[in-house]
Structure 1
Amino acid sequence: MKKMIYFIVLALTIVLSSCATASLSKYHGIGRVKKYDIYSKQLPDSFDGFRIAFASDFHYESRFDRKRLPALLKALQATRADILLLGGDYRGRNGGNLSELFDVLQQFHTSYGAYGVMGNHENNANYEVVKREMERTGVRLLEHQVDTLWKGNQYILICGIRNPFDLTKNGVSPTLSLRAEDYVVMLTHTPDYVEDVDISNTDLTLAGHTHGGQVSFFRKYTPAHFSKYGNRFLTGLKHNSQGIPVIISNGIGTSRKDIRLFTPSEVVLVILHKD
């Protein structure tokens, strides 16, 4: 009997705490803007203070539905970012009008535009739908490709990974052909890629896919394993075995079950600093 009462109280505490956390968000549908300051000696001087907005795992429409689109735009605008990076999984399991989502993303104007990769939910008919929307709204799709961002005569590189779950075709990182002295930001849907393959010459990786577990306890453990490495790459700033930093976003929408506990949906802001 005592054990039953304990678990009931614990469950109520979790639910009430989650509701209280959600109500504190000033974006009314997006849990937070999560900021990371990243320091590197290799960063060119002109990119000191460069701001990256990163959004992933929209699953439109899931818990993230049409009513929350204005909140997404407000959260993105709050980053005052120089570039927008998109981490994949754009459409929900029940479908959704992706034109509505990409129309909102297009309203977020940055100096360097928007780049994106595909997620595991795009490995079907959704792929062509998402690709058309990216082309229509000017999002540059990077699939094992690298692009250069210039500031005067200095530059950094943006690298995108194609289907990181298929290592037979995509198990060689495009960063291996880059110079070690270049500053490289990698965009991949799953954080597992940074451990599965050699990503040498990468200075920072941005990933999603895990949703922070959607339900977590003590903001550290989750019963849902979206990564084969368990909770190692659950959320936040981590490092692979090479010591390369990877930032894993909780994402925007939900998958499997439309519920979040201690895993607020988020837009990520990364500010690069010259060390």
Structure 2
Amino acid sequence: MKKIIYLVFWAAMILLSSCATASLSKYHGIGRVKKYDIYSTQLPDSFDGFRIAFASDFHYESRFGKKRLSGLLKALQATDADLLLLGGDYRGRNGGNLSELFDVLQQFHAPYGAYGVMGNHENNANYEIVRQEMQRTGIHLLEHQVDTIWKGNQYILLCGIRNPFDLTKNGVSPTLFLRPEDYVIMLTHTPDYVEDVDVSNTDLALAGHTHGGQVSLFHKYAFAHFSKYGNRFLTGLKYNSKGIPVIISNGIGTSRKDIRLFTPSEIVQIVLHKGR
């Protein structure tokens, strides 16, 4: 009897989730484009209004499959972003033709390029597959590296974290060697990294991995915990214990169960502003 109730529950959740995505989204297979306005006095003047598109956790193909690629491109184009950032977990647990995914990402021409980090699903053979696809499509892989985004004679810094789950090898943040007065964006797969590690000199961190819990209540409580901090870093704009802001995306695909409820898949749009 308990098994029947369990199956009925999940069937209802899948139906509700599918209906919500179909009825509310303007982008087939992508629940929404979520915008954040981020203000900082340290931002160089020329970057006032600079737009970033952030996409993470594709898990291609999970629930996010080939039929939804056109919706992904449409959602990215809606951001009108200057820079594209990718947060890892590109391939689904059942595999998928990543050339199809990266061909679509390549069609989005961000004027200041595209950068990405790896996720926990980029292990063994997946790592090399993703690395080759990034190289083929001109996406810069940042693994414990810092790159400079120039606009005229002013710049911001972009830092990417290598395997944030292995703190024995990667527990020292590259931002520690940067100047406090520089504006620094950190790209890491999991938000836990900004709490586990000293990420001083970071002005804004971007992360995924949590999927928003995939099934949540009131956007605050989730049954599936992808973070060791539970619901603290579930989704949205949060802060670590030192007050550094981290934007956590619900991601695109699904993991464990191919279901979403009250946690729409999303592309994140960040607009940087000069000021408090």
Alignment TM class, shorter chain as reference: over 0.9
CA distance in 2, matches of 1:233, 1:15: 27
The aligned residue for residue 48 of structure 1 is: 48
CA distance in 1, matches of 2:131, 2:12: 43
Report if aligned partners of 2:13, 2:261 keep a CA contact under 8 Å in 1. no
Report if aligned partners of 2:17, 2:259 keep a CA contact under 8 Å in 1. no
After superposition, residues 249-260 of structure 1 pair within 5 angstroms as: 249-260=249-260
The aligned residue for residue 235 of structure 1 is: 235
Q: Which amino acid in the other structure matches residue 170 of structure 2?
A: N
CA distance in 1, matches of 2:100, 2:108: 13
- SS in structure 2 at match of 1:122: coil
Change (3 A) 1:13 1:48: same
Find runs of 4+ consecutive structure 1 residues off by over 6 angstroms: 11-14
The aligned residue for residue 193 of structure 1 is: 193
CA distance in 2, matches of 1:27, 1:13: 21
CA distance in 1, matches of 2:20, 2:210: 23
- SS in structure 2 at match of 1:59: coil
Q: Which amino acid in the other structure matches residue 43 of structure 1?
A: L
Q: Which amino acid in the other structure matches residue 57 of structure 2?
A: D
- SS in structure 2 at match of 1:19: helix
Report if aligned partners of 1:62, 1:94 keep a CA contact under 8 Å in 2. yes
Q: Which amino acid in the other structure matches residue 30 of structure 2?
A: I
After superposition, residues 87-98 of structure 1 pair within 5 angstroms as: 87-98=87-98
Q: Indicate whether 1:129 and 2:134 are aligned.
A: no
The aligned residue for residue 263 of structure 1 is: 263
CA distance in 1, matches of 2:220, 2:137: 37
Q: Indicate whether 1:23 and 2:23 are aligned.
A: yes
CA distance in 2, matches of 1:197, 1:20: 38
Give unpaired runs (5+ residues) of structure 1. Answer: 1-7
The aligned residue for residue 111 of structure 2 is: 111
Residue 13 of structure 1, CA deviation: 9.3
After superposition, residues 203-218 of structure 1 pair within 5 angstroms as: 203-218=203-218
Number of aligned residue pairs: give it.
267
Residue 123 of structure 1, CA deviation: 2.0
Q: Deviations over 1:65-120 (max 9, x none)?
A: 00000000000000000000000000000000000000000000011110000000
CA distance in 2, matches of 1:149, 1:114: 11
CA distance in 1, matches of 2:168, 2:22: 41
Residue 24 of structure 1, CA deviation: 1.3
Q: Indicate whether 1:181 and 2:181 are aligned.
A: yes
CA distance in 2, matches of 1:140, 1:31: 27
CA distance in 2, matches of 1:141, 1:244: 24
CA distance in 2, matches of 1:17, 1:80: 28
CA distance in 1, matches of 2:57, 2:102: 13
RMSD value, Cα: 1.6
The aligned residue for residue 78 of structure 1 is: 78
Q: TM-score, normalised on structure 1? A: 0.94
Report if aligned partners of 2:53, 2:76 keep a CA contact under 8 Å in 1. yes
CA distance in 2, matches of 1:16, 1:268: 24
- SS in structure 2 at match of 1:120: coil
Report if aligned partners of 2:28, 2:72 keep a CA contact under 8 Å in 1. no
Report if aligned partners of 1:18, 1:262 keep a CA contact under 8 Å in 2. no
Residue 156 of structure 1, CA deviation: 0.2
CA distance in 2, matches of 1:248, 1:165: 16
Give unpaired runs (5+ residues) of structure 2. Answer: 1-7
Change (3 A) 1:152 1:197: same
CA distance in 2, matches of 1:179, 1:243: 18
Change (3 A) 1:130 1:16: closer
Q: Deviations over 1:42-68 (max 9, x none)?
A: 000000000000000000000000000
Residue 220 of structure 1, CA deviation: 1.1
Change (3 A) 1:265 1:46: same
Q: Which amino acid in the other structure matches residue 260 of structure 2?
A: R
Percent sequence identity over matched residues? 86
Q: Which amino acid in the other structure matches residue 155 of structure 2?
A: Y
Residue 22 of structure 1, CA deviation: 4.1
